[in-house]
């Protein structure tokens, strides 16, 4: 299931004094099964961009195609689009409302008109894949811990069986351990379900570890689009946008400048650990 943006524009508050161009001339193509990271500063248009992917916002210029079909078409079935493209918003735990965890997760499937038994199966599966135990099914979601609430909220979107999963800062506000757990879980779900995942974040570290491709948003425009390597090679440009490469990359660059290692362009902690332990063993 591919997503194509063709010269997409979004103008907020047209004709008022609050008029603002939130997206300018954004074009890209995301293929089936890709793991894409979208990074950018606060107010760079990341959130506006993802809300176009399932038709929550309508573009004021350009076209968006899902699987080759124009989604702004009057005939286009928006309900199916929202099932296929699942968006997990920032702090998704704030959307919980039902009396029990099970009912909350089943909200999406029920809206889609899925038979009860099948919706129940989906609820079990979704909760299992986010690592929430069956014993919590009949507990009020408001009695859970922060991390658990977030998992339940993500399960609520997974239960709709999306083919594209978009997550807006899924690790925001969690401790380092919680961050890793959530991101590992997302990578694991992607592997198992074989779905497209779009991860929105402003943390270079998170993005570098998991995704294959990075899109950089700056001031409403798509500033860069390429593999992790291609994007992090343009360090100066990133810094001009107020972004930076992962800290481990900077550290390894310094070590190389000192002649201690030979490798350049190291973006993840695991790689760095591997190289440095080899060095130490050689001595």
Partner 1 sequence: MIRDITIGQYYPSESVIHRLDARIKFIGTIAYVIALFLFDTFWGFLPALFWLGMIIVLSDIPLRFIAKGLKPILFLLIFLALFNLFLTPGEVIAEWWIFKITDKGLENAGFMALRLMLLVIGSSLMTYTTTPSQLTAGMESLFKPLGVFKVPVHEVAMMMSIALRFIPILLEETDKIMKAQQARGADFESGNIFKRAKALIPVLVPLFVSAFRRAGELAEAMEARCYHGGKGRTKLHPLKFAARDYISLVLIVGFVVGMGFMP
Residues near partner 1 (CB under 8 A) are: 51, 54, 56, 79, 82-83, 86-87, 89, 92, 94-97, 107-108, 111-112, 142, 156-157, 160
Residue 169, sorted as left (phi over 0), alpha (psi -120 to 50) or beta, turns out to be left
10 or 82: CB nearest partner 1:
82
Report the nearest approach of partner 1 to the CB of residue 82 (Å): 6
Which tokens sit at 86?
């699942």
**C-alpha span between 6 and 38 (Å, rounded):** 17
Radius of gyration of the CA atoms of the chain, in A: 20
What is the DSSP secondary-structure string of 130-167?
Answer: TT--GGGTTS-GGGS-HHHHHHHHHHHHHTT--SEEEE
20 or 191: CB nearest partner 1:
20
166 or 248: CB nearest partner 1:
166
Report the nearest approach of partner 1 to the CB of residue 153 (Å): 9
45 or 156: CB nearest partner 1:
156
87 or 208: CB nearest partner 1:
87
127, 141 contact by CB (below 8 A): no
Report the nearest approach of partner 1 to the CB of residue 64 (Å): 16
Q: What distance lies between CA 15 and its chain's CA centroid?
A: 32
Report the nearest approach of partner 1 to the CB of residue 229 (Å): 33
Report the nearest approach of partner 1 to the CB of residue 94 (Å): 6
Sign of CA dihedral 155, 1, 58, 43: positive
């Amino acid at each position: 299931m591919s997503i194509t943006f063709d010269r997409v524009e979004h103008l907020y508050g047209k004709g008022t004094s609050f008029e603002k161009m939130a997206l300018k001339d954004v074009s890209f193509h995301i293929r089936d099964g890709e793991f894409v990271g979208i990074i950018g500063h606060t107010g760079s248009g990341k959130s506006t961009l993802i809300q176009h992917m399932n038709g929550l916002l309508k573009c004021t210029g350009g076209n968006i195609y899902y699987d080759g079909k124009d989604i702004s078409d009057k005939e286009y079935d928006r309900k199916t689009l929202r099932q296929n493209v699942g968006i997990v918003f920032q702090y998704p735990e704030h959307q919980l409302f039902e009396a029990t965890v099970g009912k909350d997760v089943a909200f999406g499937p029920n809206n889609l008109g899925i038979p009860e038994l099948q919706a129940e199966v989906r609820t079990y599966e979704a909760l299992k894949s986010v690592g929430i135990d069956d014993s919590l099914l009949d507990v009020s979601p408001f009695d859970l811990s922060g991390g658990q609430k977030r998992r339940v909220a993500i399960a609520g979107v997974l239960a709709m069986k999306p083919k594209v999963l978009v997550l807006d800062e899924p690790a925001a506000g969690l401790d380092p351990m919680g961050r890793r757990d959530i991101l590992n879980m997302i990578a694991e779900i992607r592997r198992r379900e074989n779905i497209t995942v779009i991860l929105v974040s402003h943390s270079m570290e998170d993005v570098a570890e998991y995704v294959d491709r990075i899109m950089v948003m700056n001031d409403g425009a798509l500033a860069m689009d390429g593999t992790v390597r291609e994007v992090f090679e343009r360090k100066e440009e990133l810094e001009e946008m107020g972004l930076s490469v992962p800290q481990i990359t900077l550290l390894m660059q310094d070590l190389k400048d000192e002649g201690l290692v030979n490798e350049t362009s190291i973006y993840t902690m695991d790689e760095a650990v591997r190289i440095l332990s080899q060095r130490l063993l050689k001595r």
